[in-house]
A and B are shown apart, each in its own frame.
Chain A
Amino acid sequence: MSGQSSGGGFLMSVVVHGDSALNEQEKELNQRLRRLYPAVNENETPLPRSWSPKDKFSYIGLSQNNLRVHYKGHGKTPKDAASVRATHPIPAACGVYYFEVKIISKGRDGYMGIGLSAQGVNMNRLPDITFAKAGWDKHSYGYHGDDGHSFCSSGTGQPYGPTFTTGDVIGCCVNLINNTCFYTKNGHSLGIAFTDLPPNLYPTVGLQTPGEVVDANFGQHPFVFDIEDYMREWRTKIQAQIDRFPIGEREGEWQSMIQKMVASYLVHHSYCATAEAFAKSTDQAVHEELASIKNRQKIQKLVLSGRMGEAIETTQQLYPNLLERNPDLLFMLKVRQFIEMVNGTDSEVRCLGGRSPKSQDSYPGSPRPFSSPSHKASSSQPYLTGFDSNCCNGVTSNKSHSSSPHSHKPCPPGSGSTLPASDISLNGSRSQQPITRGSSTAVMSKLPASQSNDVDMEVDHFTNGVTESSSNGFLNGTSKHTTEPDDCDADMEVESAQSKRQLCGGSQAAIERMIHFGRELQSMSEHLRRECGKNSANKKMLKDAFSLLAYSDPWNSPVGYQLDAIQREPVCSTLNSAILETHNLPKQPPLAQAVGQAAQCLAMMARTGSGSCAFASVDDYLH
């Protein structure tokens, strides 16, 4: 803010006065920059937003939030020229970058240069090293108003465009895909000025004679030139390049690879009926037994519906040594169980809450959705971030945007249509149906592992065989509204959820059970520490969970997020991966891995200066 420092008290009032307008401008700037450069990660590579008060020669004065530049030297010889750079270099992930400069006054001679320069070696020697006007020195590129010439790292210019003067708006566009630059004058493109530009250039202006004043627009205001139209052209070009990218030479190889990826994805997430149908129609073998898939599916369903006690029990039954070998996993599950108890959703507290018997009578008409993991509409998690830690989390949360199984998306055309239609419609309807859980806890926990949880309830309607074959008909939903305790009759549920959520569902017995369970958990934690040493993650997990009890309304407390159903997803996927690992199956589906790789690849492109990453967002191909 060096530009304002000299003004003292008088200026202060002006600044205060302009505050709201300033905020408006700031907001507009942020919005525009986000829209123009969605691929830029500003934590890594901030965008230029103003001229740098530090990176300038002393003959340059800044004002108006460091957007206005004026010349304050003698301006007698070319040696008196001076320049200023923007606060940050242009990030490659912009793809196409653009800024404009309005000539407020051409001053005495209008010797103004607008352009780009690399980080200078020595600030004190700015005039003769970094440049006189933009374009006179090494890695310095400029377009000069007095003669209309372009200067590319040398003192001799090339005839380039028209001259410019007071009132003109000059734009500078850097194409980071082909490393070229063109200028605009009053909204008209003047054609390529430079090619083979180096990376990390800063927007720069240079002035040389008294009275010269220019204003920059880094996105604070709408641009005169239609840069978005130009960007559209490049986006189309890049996407066409991707679309036309040559794939495997041999016939069908590509397609079968895609099919394998889709099938493995379906299996991983236990969409067993879809996986089965897909495998059948694409003529593939499923590498996991159907029963095993269904087991995983059942466990996931329990976790996602908050019934952790049953989930743990079922896991122990189906995969006897799994949790013994993974005490940390077990601990995590238990902590989650504790949270679910607070929530009133865990089976152990629910049966004490006196509501479960009702649920037996509350089946919706068949077909009932079949539980698939993690369909959360509330997911706001950034898609690409969670890949390394929770392998499937990113993918599953993305899913919730569409009500049809998004795993169909990557199928090549043709194979997609082979998926059973009923599955899609069920998924579609799931979100509208208030969730009505199938089975009572008591019965559920006693069920033999191999049986479907619906069977005993619906014996009259389904023979075992029918259930198998019409497995598409299983309830697929359950998780959409899982912030509500998830059983009983729908109307009641909604009401109770709306009126007031009570600790452990409001039952005194349940609260006691919860307290007791908490003590067990505490001792388990101590035991674990003795056995395996300190584990800060576990410690924090437990602390956070216990913190819930410190508030009278845990749901609206700072730690209340833990009660959100979405928090079940990482637990669910960790458990799922652990089970898969015991079967020597990959803990992350290849599809998710490929998506994650693509995202990493784009991030790497951004870091290494490949501008085309701006127009190749993975999201564009997954929606």
Chain B
Amino acid sequence: MQEVTATSRHYVDRLFDPDPQKVLQGVIDMKNAVIGNNKQKANLIVLGAVPRLLYLLQQSSSSMELRTECAVVLGSLAMGTENNIKSLVDCHIIPALLQGLLSSDLIFIEACLRCLRTVFISPVTPVQLLYTDPTVIPHLMSLLSNSLRTQEYITQIFSHCCKTPEHQTILFNHGAIQNIAPLLISPSYKVRMQALKCFSVLAYENTQVSMTLVNVLVDGELLTQVFVKMMQRDQPIEMQLTAAKCLTYMCRASAIRTDDSCIVLKTLPCLVRMCSKEHLLEERVEGAETLAYLMEPDVELQRIASTTDHLVAMLADYFKYPSSVSAITDIKRVSPVCSAVEMYSYCPERLFSCPITQLCSHLLLSLDHDLKHAHELRQAAFKLYASLGSNDEDIRKKITETENMMDRIVSGLSESSIKVRLAAVRCLHSLSRSVQQLRTSFHDHAVWKPLMKLLQNAPDEVLVMASSTLCNLLLEFSPSKEPILESGVIELLCSLTQSDSPALRVNGIWALMNMAFQADQKVKVEIVRCLGTEQLFRLLSDPDTNVLMKTLGLLRNLLSTRPHIDQIMSSHGKQIMQAVTLILEAEHSIEVKEQTLCILANIADGNTAKDLIMTNDDMLQKIKYYMGHSNVKLQLAATFCVSNLIWNEEDGSQERQDKLREMGFVDILHKLTQSSDPNLSDRAKTALQQYLA
């Protein structure tokens, strides 16, 4: 060990030799010593070779040859472990190398770019370092024309360092598209491939880039056609897949129509092919995820995909990993460990000494790798199922009929990996849009149980999906509604309504609304008790219209059937009337006002609750106002309300009729019988009949 350090030390010492020729030889020897030797690399870094190499690289007095060799050695050091990269970045290697790019010597520039490339493609390097100096990107663009190597390295740097919309914009503004497009027909496969990757990261969720791309010509050919050619089945899989991603992103950014033949007949089939068993796990994952993204908004694409190459059945294979084959390889991996354990068992005190623990950690590492792939495959499959089934009932049926599908979703909901849980619940959500599935498979597999479990302490993104699914499970025809109610869901939903996330608030109140629909008195009371009037009114002034609408919907569902109306109004009448007044007075959409007037009509249907309106002249004036509103829906709702107030056969109907007549309601009703809207005139006539009886 010491010996190794001593030789390493010798290499570093030679970098300080006064004779430049000897320094050069030292660097060259160092280069040959570190190639493929991670230990040597680490040693040299520890011994401080990096700052010296960087110094030599930056010195203008150094010969070009020396500077180039320094860049090569640094590039070699960067090829080692992530720790190496960290050390290099900490020594400010990036600005030094970027500075080197200003040289006029192409060989030196290529060595610097190669090293930069290696540093930037590492996940430990902060991407932002590429953008700190605003002159770097334009300079890199200008270097693109220099050689195949500069093209390969620069495009590779771009494709790894373009992570945010801001990065996309910077690259776009510096002419990335015009500069990189010609590289798609480069004679070098590596250049073509890296250029293609650049376009995929540039176009992702970027309308500006995507819209520009569709009009770009490469050697007289539209870029989309170039991508289509790259998807030909004799091209390398990596190229087919990346070209399909480019077209997918352009399509999702509305630059290509979903019914364009390059999407329907080329991109979609290509992505389906990528899901097939014959491809690498990574390719299958990426293919499935991209396909899910492509067809998410388009039912026609979903229909086509669902019948292409048995996709639905093919995805079932995603759950069969680690397969029996890889289980065998697992055994192979385990066996040396087992035999080692067996060997050491004769000498127990040595069992836990070095070699065996190394073996174990190796084994764990590879198991970990398999596990990760298994997770990735499962979540990709769930995502794709979710996308496939998001609109079409027949496809949903096909999915749920796939072998063990519901069981897989159920177990997916409780997997350790968040990614899998999220994808599983997305899939479940997509399928829960089917009335038939809610009635059958969802109930048979008691999916509500893991779903409820998932709702406890899950991150927001999981919660949104899970609660949204719960909303559907709580629909009145869902047989799962009863057991869910019994599981104490109300409290959970009420707590969701207090979330900071509007999506969660909507889902919480939506679920409560569904739950309250035609519910028992007991449930309704429980909802009101648990939610609390304060929270209810807070939700009525929620900035999110969706939340407001669902809250009004909840109120309306709570205030149905006479005994319920009276009971709730007797305990919360004052606040509810207040809230109704506020909403009717404030600026709101027609839908919100209509919903509010409907609540009022429900209140008017109560026995005792009626009085809350009748004794409130202000409210009566409001109703009158809405009867004369220009919007028929509001007129109808207000008329409904009056009709309920003056309904015969109820105690005190005579007094109420008199009072309203005095206030001029009868005249308005007469006018409304002349309405061109048949519903409204009928409703007005029915109301007037109450006076005649």
Q: Which residues from chain A sit less than 8 Å from chain B, CB to CB?
A: 161-162, 182, 185, 187-192, 226, 229-230, 232-233, 235-236
Contact = CB atoms under 8 A, between A and B. Distances in A.
Contact of A190 (B232, B234, B265, B307): B307
B308 A189 contact: yes
Contacts of B362: none
B233 A190 contact: no
A191 B313 CA distance: 10
Given A187-B265, A188-B269, A161 B234 contact: no
Interface in B421-461: none
A495 to B, nearest CB: 44
Which of A187, A191, A233 neighbours the largest number of chain B CB atoms within 10 Å of its CB?
A191
A236 B240 CA distance: 14
Nearest to B394: A162
Given A185-B307, A230-B233, A235-B234, 9 more contacts: A188-B307, A190-B308, A190-B309, A190-B310, A192-B310, A229-B232, A229-B233, A232-B233, A236-B233
A585 B265 CA distance: 59
B308 A233 contact: no
Nearest to B268: A188
A161 B307 CA distance: 6
Contacts of B234: 232-233, 235-236
A233 B309 contact: no
Interface string B498-542: 000000000000000000000000000000000000000000000
Nearest to A239: B234
B233 A189 contact: no
Interface string B217-255: 000000000000000111000000000000000000000
B309 A191 contact: yes
5 contacts: A188-B307, A190-B308, A192-B310, A229-B232, A233-B234
A50 to B, nearest CB: 28
Contact of A191 (B232, B265, B310): B310
B367 interface: no
A232 B232 contact: yes
Given A232-B233, A233-B234, A235-B234, A189 B309 contact: yes
B485 to A, nearest CB: 38
Contacts of B4: none
B304 interface: yes
Contacts of A226: 265
Contacts of A188: 265, 269, 304, 307-308
Nearest to B311: A191
Contacts of A189: 269, 308-309
A182 B276 CA distance: 15
A189 B304 CA distance: 10
Nearest to A231: B233
A245 to B, nearest CB: 19
Contacts of B232: 229, 232
Contacts of B233: 229-230, 232-233, 236
A163 to B, nearest CB: 10
Closest 7 CB pairs of A and B: A233-B233, A191-B310, A232-B234, A191-B309, A236-B234, A162-B307, A229-B233
Interface in B289-312: 304, 307-310
A235 B314 CA distance: 24
A235 B269 CA distance: 19
A452 to B, nearest CB: 44
A162 B305 CA distance: 12
Contacts of B309: 182, 189-191
Nearest to B240: A233
Nearest to B270: A229
Which of A182, A187, A188, A192 neighbours the largest number of chain B CB atoms within 10 Å of its CB?
A188
A392 B436 CA distance: 75
Nearest to B308: A188
A233 B237 CA distance: 11
Contacts of A233: 233-234
B258 to A, nearest CB: 15
Contacts of B314: 191
Contacts of B310: 190-192
A185 B308 CA distance: 9
A407 to B, nearest CB: 28
A229 B309 CA distance: 16
B493 to A, nearest CB: 41
B616 to A, nearest CB: 61
Nearest to A186: B304
Contacts of A190: 307-310
A185 B304 CA distance: 10
Contacts of A232: 232-234
Contacts of B269: 188-189
B268 to A, nearest CB: 8
Contacts of A187: 265
A190 B233 CA distance: 17
B229 to A, nearest CB: 10
A192 B277 CA distance: 13
Nearest to A182: B309
A171 B621 CA distance: 71
Nearest to A233: B233
Interface string B258-277: 00000001000100000000
A267 B180 CA distance: 52
Nearest to B313: A191
Contacts of B307: 161-162, 185, 188, 190
A191 B265 CA distance: 15
A192 B310 CA distance: 8
A95 B313 CA distance: 27
Nearest to A240: B234
A508 to B, nearest CB: 63
A230 B269 CA distance: 11
A162 B234 CA distance: 28
B110 to A, nearest CB: 26
Nearest to A225: B265
A473 B260 CA distance: 61
B271 to A, nearest CB: 13
A112 to B, nearest CB: 18
A31 B133 CA distance: 60
B577 to A, nearest CB: 57
A232 B310 CA distance: 22
B520 to A, nearest CB: 44
Contacts of B265: 187-188, 226
Nearest to B261: A187
Contacts of B308: 188-191
A189 B233 CA distance: 14
A233 B270 CA distance: 12
A182 B307 CA distance: 12
Contacts of A161: 307
Which of B234, B304, B314 neighbours the largest number of chain A CB atoms within 10 Å of its CB?
B234
Interface in B312-326: 314
A165 to B, nearest CB: 14
Contacts of A191: 308-310, 314
Contacts of A230: 233
Contacts of A236: 233-234
A192 B311 CA distance: 11
A187 B234 CA distance: 19
A188 B310 CA distance: 11
B546 to A, nearest CB: 37
Nearest to B310: A191
A226 to B, nearest CB: 7
Contacts of A192: 310
Nearest to B305: A188
Contacts of A185: 307
A162 B265 CA distance: 17
Which of B232, B265, B269, B307 neighbours the largest number of chain A CB atoms within 10 Å of its CB?
B307
A162 B303 CA distance: 10
A230 B234 CA distance: 8
A189 B314 CA distance: 14
Interface in B663-680: none
Contacts of A229: 232-233
Nearest to B272: A189
